[in-house]
Structure 1
Amino acid sequence: MARLMAIDFGTKRTGIAITDELQIIASGLTTIPTKDLLSFLKTYTSEENVELFIVGEPKQMNFELSESEVSIAKFLEKLNKAIPHIPVKRVDERFTSKMAFQTMIDSGLKKNKRKNKALVDEISATIILQSYLYNQQ
Structure 2
Amino acid sequence: MQDYARLIGIDVGKKRVGIAQTDLLQTIASPVGTFSPENVFTEIGNIVEHAPVKKFVIGWPLSLSGDEGSATQMVEAFIKKLQQKFPEIEIIKVDERYTSSRARDIMLEAGVPKKKRQEKGRVDRIAAAIILQNYLDSNI
TM class by shorter chain equals over 0.9
Q: TM-score, normalised by structure 2?
A: 0.94
2:45 aligned with 1:66: no
CA contact (8 A) 1:52 1:88 kept: yes
Match of 1:120? 123
Larger deviation: 65-74 or 84-93?
65-74
CA contact (8 A) 1:5 1:52 kept: yes
Paired positions, count: 137
- Pick from 110, 113, 128: which aligns with 1:110? 113
- Which segments of 5 or more consecutive residues in structure 2 lack a partner in the other structure? none
C-alpha separation in 1, matches of 2:83 and 2:6: 18
Secondary structure at the residue paired with 2:94?
Answer: strand
Larger deviation: 91-100 or 32-41?
32-41
Match of 1:25? 28
Larger deviation: 122-131 or 65-74?
65-74
C-alpha separation in 2, matches of 1:66 and 1:48: 34
CA contact (8 A) 1:26 1:129 kept: yes
Secondary structure at the residue paired with 2:121?
Answer: helix
CA contact (8 A) 1:96 1:124 kept: yes
C-alpha separation in 2, matches of 1:115 and 1:125: 17
Paired residue type of 1:89: I
**Ranges of 4+ aligned residues in structure 1 off by more than 6 Å:** none
Match of 1:84? 87
- Which segments of 5 or more consecutive residues in structure 1 lack a partner in the other structure? none
Q: TM-score, normalised by structure 1?
A: 0.96
